[in-house]
Copies of this chain bind each other. A is one copy, B any other.
């Protein structure tokens, strides 16, 4: 069980509120893994994870966190959002490393039509992302 809030969790909430990419960079471990709701194979590293997380934050509308669940140096954050006309619910499953930085960020979304809309919207967002702004 977590006894205090990891720095990565505080920074993550600050990023969601501000969309400040420097804050997101400070939240993530260099070797972070990002596990998408759509694809099995994780994306590895800070640059790829930042690309996906900043795109996701732009794609979701009316994004709101609800219940919070605590594990062993890990949290689950429940959210609701819209993707276009569709309502989705989801969870962010965030594992922290010993320094409190985000080591593993997994997202699951329901229902199936909302997930499909998210996949389409993310593909567009990723295609239009300015890769030169991403730390490599």
Contact = CB atoms under 8 A, between A and B. Distances in A.
Interface of A: 1, 35-40, 67-72, 74-76, 78, 87, 89-91, 93, 106-116, 119
A35 to B, nearest CB: 7
Q: Which of A1, A39, A68, A91 counts the most B-chain CB atoms under 10 A from its CB? A: A91
Contacts of A93: 67, 76, 78, 91
Number of copies: 2
Contact of A70 (B38, B70, B113, B114): B70
Contact of A108 (B36, B72, B108, B113): B108
A108 B90 contact: yes
Q: Which of A72, A78, A113 counts the most B-chain CB atoms under 10 A from its CB? A: A78
Given A35-B110, A37-B110, A69-B74, 8 more contacts: A36-B110, A36-B111, A38-B111, A67-B72, A69-B69, A70-B70, A89-B108, A108-B109
A87 B108 CA distance: 14
Nearest to A35: B110
Contacts of A114: 40
Given A76-B91, A78-B93, A106-B89, A112 B67 contact: no
Contacts of A113: 40
Contacts of A115: 112, 115
